[in-house]
Structure formats: structure tokens, C-alpha cells
Amino acid sequence: MIIVMKAGSTEEQIQEVVSLVRKLGYQVHLSTGVERTIIGVIGHKDKSPIQSFASLEAVESVIPILKPFKLSSFEMKGERSLIDVDGVTFGGEQIALIAGPCSVESRDQIVRIAHQVKQAGAHILRGGAYKPRTSPYSFQGLEEEGLKFLREAKEETGLRIVTEIVAIGDMDLLVEYADMIQIGARNCQNFALLKAVGQSKKPVLFKRGMSTTVKEFLQAADYILSEGNPNVILCERGIRTFEDSTRNTLDLSAVALLRNWSHLPVVVDPSHATGVRELVMPMARAAMAAGADGLIIEVHDRPEEAYSDGPQSLRPDEFKECLREVSGIAAAVGRRL
Ligand code: PEP
Ligand code: MN
């Protein structure tokens, strides 16, 4: 249930409604937009007593949210969220660009690639220090040493850092080193981990699970939001289907649907969605046309030597070409790189 306050209602009127809602035993989620304030009424209690709030002078309307997700729903905010990652904005006219290798492999590797992606036009450097690998025998990441190398890459290039968390116990380290914390597809419904990043307030790059429906994905996002962290960026990275010629199937309609159902920005990962280098650029272009607010692309200058995901990694010159192509599509849909 949301209570939409009339445009121009005073702080006092808003607080009066908030305290009435709290008195009835519900939680409140306040969304102060440019135009008007929306009071989200949260909790599992019956919300019908809230309906009578429609007769209060400062209240414009009381609307039930029928979807299973609430805080991430578009209605809850009434406008698109702009999320700031240390000066890089997601959800605005400019497209946010994240690029880098799948894994941090050495100081030299990550610093070298950071310079290359920066030169091509990326804003944020990606690189896993803790890797959620399908096999326990695969490279698991350099852990804290990898975070230190990421920091060095940031100091040299000015790029912001996004890196994945796989265990709650690493939270303090991740908060210290990263500008944005990635929750990978395999942890999309790891609710304890979602609550922990929700408490951290760091921007979260939240990837859709490989078998998660859009409704389940947004309910999972509500776990982060309901802990008080509004800085959630959704990421479509392909889902499991019967098709086995690509690593996953990029669900582009989910991009349009998420931007319809939710106020949160949506990023597309054409690398994990396809698993095939040659398909990354066409899918990046398609993502732009579908309305994506950003892209995350794996880039490696020696993909044949990469510890993980070499076959889907663009070489730096291919990445540069990809951005050139994408910028044409972005302009056609009223966005820019
Ligand atoms: C990654 O970004 O390297 C990764 C493991 O992605 P996903 O969680 O989407 O598989
Ligand atoms: Mn990867």
C-alpha cells in the first residue's frame, strides 16, 4: 500500500501521516521525490485500515501495490531512481560502463587492463577477487590480495571498483575496498547475504539468478532495500533455457519489464549472457535499444591466458569498437555514453 501525498504538502503534514501509520503497527518507507512524497506502508499485517487515510487533507490517494515486490516497484517511488557510485550515475541519460576481466589474476594484469578499459571509455573497473566457481578445482580468486590490486588499479586510473562478494564474512573487507559490491547470479536468492549488503549501504550490482523469474528477482531486491540500502542496480545476465549454443539466454524483454515494473536502474551483462566473444557486441547493441541503463562487459588483453571466462572476453580494441557501435544506438534512444 502506498500513500501519495499532495504536491506541496508540508514536512509537518507528512510526519503526521507517518506517525499515524506507525501507530497502527506498520513500517514506513518514505520516498521524497522531486514532485511529491510517497509513503510506503510495509509489513505483513492487513492494510485495509490504511484505506481511510485517503480522506486526510494532505493525502492525494491511497493505492494498493498488488505485485509481490513492494519497495522495488515503480509505484513506490513514482519516478526512476538515480544511483550514484562515487560520481558515476546509473539511471540517468548517460550510460554507465563497467568493464574489466572476469578475475583479478595479478597486480600487473589488473592495472594493465584498467588502463586499457579506461582509455576505451569505461567508468568502473570490474574484477573478481572472490570467485563463485562451478567447480571447486577452478581458480577461486586472489581474495584480499586481489582487492589490494584492484585498489592500486583505481589509484592509477581513477576508475571506480566493482567486485563480487561470496560470503558474509568478507563484508568488512569488501566495504573497505569496493565502490560497488556485486552479488552474483548464484547468490541472487542468498537472503542472508542480501540482508548483509542491505545493511552496508554500499551500492550493489545485483545480478539476476540463472533460474530466477523477474518477480522473484524483484522480491530478492526488496530484501536489500528493506534493510535500508536504496542503492540497488539490477543486472540481467542471461537465464538458463533449453538453448545450449550460448552459455545462457539473454532475456531482453526482462530489461524492458524491469524498467516498467521497477524504479531501479538496469544493467545488461552480454558477456555472461552469451559466453561467446562474437556475440557480445551485437547483444550490447540490443541491450541499449531495449533501454538498458548500463553495460558490464568482460575485457582481457590476453583472453587465451585468462584464468576464467577468456572465450567471452573482448580484447581492448574490440571493447573500444563495441562502445563506438553502442554509442550510435544510445543516441538513437535518447541516451549517451
Ligand atoms: C562474473 O561476473 O564474473 C560472474 C560470476 O557473473 P554471474 O554471477 O552473472 O555468473
Ligand atoms: Mn566471469
> Ligand 1 test: best mutation among 133, 134, 237, 267, most atoms within 8 Å of CB?
237
Is residue 188 lining ligand 1, measured as CB closer than 6 Å? no
pLDDT at position 33, please? Answer: 80
Nearest to 48 by CA among 78, 68, 26: 26
Look at the chain and report how many structural domains it folds into.
2
Q: Is residue 337 part of a domain?
A: no
- Residues 87, 51, single domain; the answer is no
Considering 36, 64, 92, which residue would you say is the last residue of a domain?
64
- Residues 155, 272, single domain; the answer is yes
Is residue 101 lining ligand 1, measured as CB closer than 6 Å? no
Q: Is residue 73 part of a domain?
A: no
Atom 1 of ligand 1, residue of closest alpha carbon: 102
Is residue 303 lining ligand 1, measured as CB closer than 6 Å? no
308 alpha carbon – ligand 2 mean position (Å): 6
Q: Is residue 319 part of a domain?
A: yes
Nearest to 4 by CA among 67, 50, 72, 46: 50
Q: Is residue 198 part of a domain?
A: yes
- Residues 60, 126, single domain; the answer is no
- Residues 122, 164, single domain; the answer is yes
CB atoms within 10 A of CB 108: 9
- Residues 52, 94, single domain; the answer is no
Contacts of 12 (CB under 8 A, 6+ apart): none
Tell which atom from ligand 1 comes closest to the C-alpha of 185: 8
289 alpha carbon – ligand 2 mean position (Å): 24
272 alpha carbon – ligand 1 mean position (Å): 7
Task: Please say whether the beta carbons of 156 and 111 come within 8 A.
Answer: yes
- Residues 133, 10, single domain; the answer is no
- Residues 109, 216, single domain; the answer is yes
Strands (E) across the chain are located at 2-5, 27-32, 37-42, 59-63, 83-85, 88-90, 96-100, 124-126, 160-164, 180-183, 204-207, 232-236, 266-268, 294-298
pLDDT at position 75, please? Answer: 94
In the chain the first and final C-alpha atoms are separated, in Å, by 37
Contacts of 141 (CB under 8 A, 6+ apart): 103, 104, 128, 129, 130, 131
Q: Is residue 190 part of a domain?
A: yes
Atom 8 of ligand 1, residue of closest alpha carbon: 184
211 alpha carbon – ligand 2 mean position (Å): 17
- Residues 19, 110, single domain; the answer is no
Which CATH number does the domain housing residue 15 bear?
3.30.70.1140
- Residues 99, 58, single domain; the answer is no
Atom 10 of ligand 1, residue of closest alpha carbon: 185
Tell which atom from ligand 1 comes closest to the C-alpha of 187: 8
Note down the domain range covering 18: 2-64
Q: Which residues of the chain have pLDDT under 50?
A: none
Written as nine digits, the cell of 332 is 538513437
The burial of 68, by beta-carbon neighbours within 10 Å (0-12 exposed, 13-18 middle, 19 or more buried), is given as exposed
Considering 64, 96, 118, which residue would you say is the last residue of a domain?
64
pLDDT at position 34, please? Answer: 77
Atom 9 of ligand 1, residue of closest alpha carbon: 185
Atom 6 of ligand 1, residue of closest alpha carbon: 184
Q: Is residue 172 part of a domain?
A: yes
- Residues 119, 28, single domain; the answer is no
Considering 37, 64, 91, which residue would you say is the last residue of a domain?
64
CB atoms within 10 A of CB 336: 10
- Residues 211, 154, single domain; the answer is yes
Tracing cell 530478492 back to the chain, one arrives at 220
Q: Is residue 75 part of a domain?
A: no
Which CATH number does the domain housing residue 314 bear?
3.20.20.70
Is residue 306 lining ligand 1, measured as CB closer than 6 Å? no
Nearest to 329 by CA among 296, 267, 282, 297: 282
Q: Is residue 71 part of a domain?
A: no
Nearest to 110 by CA among 245, 241, 298: 298
- Residues 204, 109, single domain; the answer is yes
* pLDDT tens string 111-137: 999 999 999 999 999 999 999 999 999
Ligand nearest to the CA of 208: 1
Tell which atom from ligand 1 comes closest to the C-alpha of 128: 3
